[in-house]
A and B are shown apart, each in its own frame.
Chain A
Amino acid sequence: MELVVFSLLNGIVFGLLLFMMSAGLTLIFSMMGVLNFAHASFYMLGAYFAFQISQAVGFWPALVLAPLVVGVAGGLVERYGLRRVHKHGHVPELLFTFGLAFLIQEFVVLGWGRVGVPYRVPEILNFPLFTLFGTNFPAYRAFMVLISIGMFVALFAILTRTRVGLIVQASLTHPHIAATLGHNVPRVFMYVFAGGTALAGLAGVIGGNAFVTNPSMAALLGTIVFVVVIVGGLGSLTGAFIAAMVIGIVQTFSVALDVSVGSFFGLLGLDLSSNSIFYEYWTLTLTDIAPVTPYLLLVLILIFRPMGLMGKRET
């Protein structure tokens, strides 16, 4: 019971963090038509900038400033990089973001070193919020949930309730028509890119200290975020939300459950001893398989529902 409650809670926290990143990525995908390989790198930048800023002026200013700085960096990348590459088609765009990911990676290594930085949860939030079945639930996790939910409500309100949101929606699906109606579509795209990367930056600010802040954090989370976006359906915010929560919860559960593959067969009355074929596989526990589950889901989705859960076009 304790396991279920805590895995669920942690799964939700992780899922919300995944969604915060995939929301930006899926919007940027709708706009460019290709996945932005460097998206998770902006998550990493968010964490490192937050670390640096919180060293100087503390966590709270960093919470606001770091995503802004990341967003401005993202906007500049779109304006002076992607927009020029865009003319030459999708493949150069893809290669550009691929190169950018390595560039940011090296920038981080040069600036802060190969090992992680001690980016910590702020003292004021470093206490157990409640204790259930003898296990503590950190207050910072609850804070992450609050920030994430506040973020989504704001994003949703902007996209559906404001004129700017309408222009963004129209420009993403029908850029040519939006332009002939007098909307500056390239500028809208720059803001979308800046906004999406700022969201990834915010995820970095609140995720970097809850998990780790090191140069491999981008690669670690990046692939899972791709899976979320593809499983949810490219371009669909609702799909990304569902996929993020499912993957977040499934992954947390499989890490927590200590059950081996063989024990399933044991339940079926099969005895798999050390001399049976593929013995190594039967002794794998769910924990061992956990990192693979998102990719398994990705493969299954691409086979059975190529447009993703809520997507409108084939991936």
Chain B
Amino acid sequence: MLEIKDLHAYYGKSHILQGVDLRVGNGEIVSLLGRNGVGRSTTIKAIIGDVPPEGSIRFKGEEIVGLKAHEIAHLGIGYVPENRDIFPGLTVRQNLLLGMKGTKQQGRWTMDNMFEMFPLLAERADTEGGVISGGEQQMLTICRTLMGDPDLIMIDEPTEGLAPMLVEQVSELLAEIATRGVSVLLVEQKLTIALKISQRVYVMGHGRIVFEGTPEELRANDQIRKEWLEV
């Protein structure tokens, strides 16, 4: 599905990504772990084209380095930004409508699906996005991206600052996404969730991948956890 080789990215003169290799298979949930500032968010921003990438990123066999963000989105990559970046002045329904790439409802997800999964969003369908709770905004950002029917969805820190019950809801949603055949690339800080739902995990440190393996292998590897993950 997604195959990254020797990915580099820069913010101004700082060399943030220094040769990242990463792969996400069909219908797979893959987590990208690591401390703050090691380049996890930059990696997915580079994939979607929000930060100019160098190197090779192949999606469904096609090279996407150099394409614009909206073109990459049309190929089937969905991106859920961190910080619950919704359109605050628009209603919940309008936010969802903007996730769609055309005027017709199509693909795996419909607005009714979203409202069934999150009845709270249905209740607030005509409320402005800026005034709903942080948890609802988080659900809304994920649902908005799903409305575009991506084949791969990249989610940046979806559980950050959420109450434990909502964290549970987010991980259920991620599992649901995978059962519908969508690949997931998850950037997470909470090891418990990432290890529970992922098939494979990557650990990043200083702009490079420092570990690749299954959740079990990471659990067994004290040294990697101590050096690159635990605070």
Contact = CB atoms under 8 A, between A and B. Distances in A.
Interface centre among B70, B90, B94, B103 (most CB of A within 10 A): B70
Interface string A142-180: 000000000000000000000100110110011011111
Interface stretch (B17-25, B34-42, B54-62, B73-81): B73-81
A146 to B, nearest CB: 30
Interface stretch (A21-29, A64-72, A181-189): A181-189
Interface residues of A, number: 17
User: Which label, helix, strand, loop or mixed, suits the secondary structure of the A interface?
Assistant: helix
B48 A166 contact: no
B145 interface: yes
Given A166-B94, A176-B69, A181 B99 contact: yes
Given A177-B81, A177-B85, A166 B70 contact: no
A177 B103 CA distance: 19
Contact of B48 (A170, A173, A180): A180
Contacts of A173: 87-89
Interface string B180-204: 0000000000000000000000000
B68 A179 contact: yes
A132 B65 CA distance: 70
A184 B71 CA distance: 8
A184 B49 CA distance: 13
Given A163-B97, A166-B97, A167-B98, A181 B89 contact: no
A169 B89 contact: yes
A183 B102 CA distance: 9
A181 B48 CA distance: 10
B144 interface: yes
Nearest to B91: A166
Nearest to A187: B70
A170 B69 contact: no
Given A184-B70, A185-B70, A170 B79 contact: no
A167 B74 CA distance: 16
Contacts of A176: 50, 69, 81
A22 B17 CA distance: 44
Interface in A167-219: 167, 169-170, 173-174, 176-185
4 cross-chain pairs, A with B, having the tightest CB-CB distances, nearest first:
A182-B73, A179-B69, A182-B101, A180-B79
15 contacts: A166-B97, A169-B87, A169-B89, A169-B90, A170-B90, A170-B98, A174-B85, A179-B50, A179-B73, A180-B48, A180-B69, A180-B70, A180-B73, A182-B73, A184-B68
